[in-house]
Amino acid sequence: MQKPELMHLLAKNINMKNTFLIIMAGGIGTRFWPISRSANPKQFHDVLGVGKTMLQQTAERFEGIIPKENIYVVTSAEFADLVKEQLPYLHADQILKEPQRRNTAPCIAYAAYKIGKKHPKAKLIVAPADHVILKEEAFKSRIKEALEAASESHLVTLGIVPTRPDTGYGYIQYQPSEEVAKVVKTFTEKPNVELAEAFLDSGDYVWNAGIFIFSIPTFKKELEKQLSRMAEQFDEGENAYYTDQEEEFIRKVYGVCKSISIDNGIMEKAQNVKVVLADIGWSDLGTWKSLYEVKEKDEKQNVIEGKVLIFDTEKCIIKTPHHKLVVVHGLHNYIVAEHGNALMICPKDQEQQVKLFVEEATKVGIEFS
């Protein structure tokens, strides 16, 4: 007979082999212009200045949990080469190319049905490619807890313990209990300030991190229940996945399938959702303000990356090319960002205008978008 310790390790290894990571890497990240561009979005950049792109950091975060051969990246067809360049160990079958953007439900369905062809009872971890997680060991612990909860036919998500009444995130209300994975009561889209403050005061709301964990059978069952037509569409590709016919099949499916998020399409309606509370140093890094918040600051509360000289300047975020000397004088609470052929200088409290800047820049020339 084998020793209990060895049996445990073997079981753990088998579970890892049947657990897959789906990285969603198809977004454009407009609010991070001019670093994030339509042809080279933020997930493919070293936004944090640590020598690795956000996509690379996301994949590395799962070392010890997910074998490299079980990492799948769903991205726009136009970014497939970037994915291969940054994660060269991926096989072509592990890079799923979307012919057009259809939000997160089709993205996840594509990966789930493809992986499910070879591994019908696998567990899936779904994670965005462009989020920051500073407490990586705590993150791994929460993921393992979520994987255990997903064994019980639940859809599981991570809920970030809120630190402020932020209006930029969706919220999840849970039923307080001693359980690690708590029953979800409601999902709420981005609230106004008053509602966000009420959520924070109540103590039973967390931020929706957009990280999901579930088994393929559980996901398929809910998709069939909530988005039956989409389930039928991806199920029809059983004979196409992992073959030369896959690309053409997906092109046809994406041409007709509904564009909807997994939150709106499934999570908000399902009755078997649980949330694992997580204090993991998380940020969705959706804006320049969020980057400013997670980065270290100098004595004047500036975040600086580049060859920069500052005078009478405070509470700014400055990110410029290292080959260029930049001198900044007299700025307070500003964003100064340069990348490639574009430079943006904007008050931090006006960063909601960035989308407008991109629209206008595109009119000047598509190369500036």
- Who contacts 203 (Cβ-Cβ below 8 Å, separation ≥6)? 176
Which pLDDT score is estimated for 9? Answer: 40
pLDDT of residue 14: 40
Per-residue pLDDT, averaged over 202-218, amounts to 95
Q: Which one is predicted more confidently, 68 or 12?
A: 68
The terminus-to-terminus CA distance of the chain in angstroms comes to 64
Of the pLDDT bands very low, low, confident and very high (cuts 50, 70, 90), residue 151 is: confident
pLDDT at 8: 47
Lowest-confidence segment of 127-131, 189-193, 247-251 by average pLDDT: 189-193
Whether residue 294 is predicted with pLDDT greater than 70 in this model: the reply is yes
pLDDT band per the 50, 70, 90 thresholds, residue 13:
very low
> Given this model, what pLDDT does residue 95 score?
98
Cβ neighbour number for residue 351 with a 10 Å cutoff? 20
Average pLDDT over residues 55-83: 96
Average pLDDT value for residue range 316-331: 96
pLDDT of residue 7: 40
Q: Which fold has domain 4-283?
A: Spore Coat Polysaccharide Biosynthesis Protein SpsA; Chain A (3.90.550)
Amino acid identity, residue 167? T
Angle (CA) 16-277-174 rounded to 5° is 120
Cβ 96 vs Cβ 116: under 8 Å? no
Location of structure tokens 């900044």: 328
Residue 1 has pLDDT above 90, yes or no: no
11 pLDDT above the threshold of 50? no
Q: Is the pLDDT of residue 3 over 80?
A: no
79-88, 162-171, 203-212, 229-238: range with lowest mean pLDDT = 162-171
Structure tokens at 234: 């991806």
What are the domain boundaries of the chain? 4-283, 288-368
Kindly indicate the confidence band of residue 10, based on its pLDDT and cuts at 50, 70 and 90. very low
* Residue 28 pLDDT greater than 90, yes or no: no
Q: How many angstroms separate the CA atoms of 54 and 51, rounded?
A: 10
**What is the pLDDT at residue 4?**
47
Task: Note the pLDDT tens digit of each residue in 327-338.
Answer: 999 999 999 999
Confidence category of residue 15, pLDDT binned at 50, 70, 90:
low
**CB-based contact 213:150 (threshold 8 Å):** yes
- Report whether pLDDT(166) > 50: yes
Lowest mean pLDDT among 13-17, 240-244, 327-331, 348-352: 13-17
Instruction: Give the residue-averaged pLDDT of 93-107.
Output: 96
Section 305-333 average pLDDT: 96
What's the average model confidence in pLDDT over 5-34? Answer: 74
> Residue 190's pLDDT is what?
87
- pLDDT of 2 > 60? The answer is no
d(CA 334, CA 316): 5
Residue 285's contacts (CB-CB under 8 Å, 6 or more residues apart) are: 32, 42, 47, 54, 130, 131, 132, 291, 294
Residue 71: per-residue pLDDT: 98
Angle between helices 228-235 and 246-256 (to 10 degrees): 160
Q: Indicate whether this model's pTM tops 0.85.
A: yes
Residue type, 28: I
Q: What angle do CA 218, 219, 225 make, to 5 degrees?
A: 95
